[in-house]
Chain A
Amino acid sequence: MRKSPREILESARLVGRRGLLLGGIQFAVAATLALRMRSMQLDHADEYRLLSDGNSIKIRLLPPARGLIHDRDGTVIAGNEQNYRVTLTREEAGGDVEPVLRRLSRLIPLDEARIDELLAEFEKRSAITPISIADRLTWEQFSAIAVNAPALNGVTPESGLSRIYPRRADLAHVMGYVGPVSDYDLSKIEDPDPVLMLPEFQLGKIGVEAKLEEALRGKAGARRVEVNSAGREMRELGRQEGVQGATVQLSLDARLQNYAAQRLGSESGAAVVMDVATGELHAICSSPSFDPNLFVRGISSADYKALTEHDHRPLADKTVQGVYPPGSTFKMVTMLAGLDSGVINAGWGAYCPGYTEVGGRRFHCWSRGGHGHVGLVASLEKSCDVFYYELAQKVGIDRIAAMARRLGIGVRHDLPMSAVAEGIAPDKAWKRARYDQEWQVGDSLNASIGQGYVLASPLQLAVMTARVATGRMVEPKLVRAIDGVPQLAGEFPDLGIDPAHLRIARLGMDAVMNSKSGTAGRSRIIAEEWRMAGKTGTSQVRNITAAERARGVIRNEQLPWNRRDHALFVCYAPYEAPRYAVSVVVEHGGGGSAVAAPIARDILLFALADGLPPLDAVPGDQQQAMQARHEAMHLFEPEPQSPARGRA
């Protein structure tokens, strides 16, 4: 509505009156604020300055105890232990720390080099940051410092908790370890928790410790203390305890993991045991391993050098990070790709004269004499390569790659571990993107038997086996519960592969173990309730030239270690109602059937028997050797009945 000039005037007058009133009130408030500033900053400045300089009340953070990690039976696999240490604060030492350090060196071992290092550190850090002088003191040293405290200004003896891994090297790769917070760590965190600034606070560096850091860390408590002008604590005014980090229960079975590590022994390799129904990883073992406690305590450069220069690469996690050409263990993928796409049916077969020729190139079967006519089941049983060469030409690489991904190869599985590899399920698009080259038929032939560009981690091989065994989209799981809250998914969805096709693959894997001409018959389980199905794989790490083939292929044992073939084996059991899938890779181990299969069988037996494999489960001629192996092992003693809880 249109306003009359009179209305506009009246409105302006009204708003003007109220606006002035408002402005007056606001000005009065501003004046009050100014007066308050004057009173605080001018009239009482000296008092505040005094309070500020001698700031007599301080807050000290109480680091929270890190959450414990349990295995599936409640055994503590990462706990906390009491640690005595001593810190020094420059400001409280009166500015000059050197005399204090000299006096300290009479009580605890502190050499010149360490003192120089510390002085440099004090230069860098703020005057009020406590710096850790010595760690893991004995009780005697600790009490000597406490007694002499009056002569040691700014020195605070502290007892804190430090991470300990009671299972030592067994779980090093999967659990990772904690270490002191570095500047680099801090730079990666936005708005870091103040507790991270505390000296010797431990942060998960890799593995589960790093990935579940948030849950494990807990919440800091605080103490309010009154200190005198020298900074010495006079009394505690208030205390708020921190909250311990969550207890994490992993799906791992520490005893099985221990057995797997022992069974792999000094080999360079990996073993993965997975529950085929729930996807829980019961063991995920990379060998050789290292003691994570070394890293927690600060590893010496000699120890570190020994680890990095070892040709078996103990620091690398071969289970999820290492990828290998899967060799013949990949043949189930090629077969299922053929069946599922309808390119072949269950009655299909190929003739193997020992080689096949494609584009003027000869592709050999591992059996020089050939296998003759080979059907689907026999192709797995005898691991005939020519069968898969013929099949690959009909199916094409793209279908094989799609099936590989469906079975979990070339897919990054979501696990709270460091550097989980994706592997490679190569197809035409991949090669174009990666090498800018067209895919060749020969590439398909190599891929069909798990050579060439195909790469899979032992974890992926276990997932593949579990999926073939169940027909379900099994995903690996590592965390069972966090603070008692279950973390496992329900049942996995169906893969959508015709059960009849899966049955053929399973029959083939059964034949590998349990038929006369199976490639891994020696490693079968004779206890019928644990009947096992498996597949061997031997993957070359070098090219065999035509000239060499003419001379006769050099036997593995005659090659230097790092040029020998990788030995692989995947299996599951019991055949009728599968419970566990196992994959084993032995780097440069030689043949899959001779080296990897017996290891996988024994680990599988341990899982099934929930204890040392019973001797009567293996063929008679191997029982004595097994007995001897068991006696030579250094297994952890069974835990006492009540699940031991670590210190809170």
Chain B
Amino acid sequence: MPVPAGPAMRRLRLMIVDDSNLIRRRIERTQSLPELAVVGSAGNGEEALEVFRRTDPDLVTMDLTMPEMDGIECIAHLVRLKPEVRILVISALADKATAIDAIEKGASGFLHKPFTDRQLNEALLELARIPQHA
């Protein structure tokens, strides 16, 4: 079910963070929710902070294993900058401790790589439905 969108409601702004160009392009190409607009992307945590400050996204997809600054550290920074931001971790790291760590730092969801197009869109839809001030 789509997120209700009134005429005056702006689309949710999405930033994509992954050190793989391939994955960044895939997420951008595959996401098919009309409620979302991709406003920026970054290849590591430090770049993500810069793009975040510039584009003010509502939603973020976040890889964890990245150079410069990893995803867990980046999540903590982003949540400090904007506590209501919703972050979907998209990572190959499949142990429970990492997922718990990410959630405790402020992530809202976790999607394991590899993922199908359908799994990605379902995870993004779930993220978009979370009330903004939850």
Do the two chains bind? Answer: no
| Chain B residues at the A interface, C-beta cutoff of 8 Å | none
| Chain A residues at the B interface, C-beta cutoff of 8 Å | none
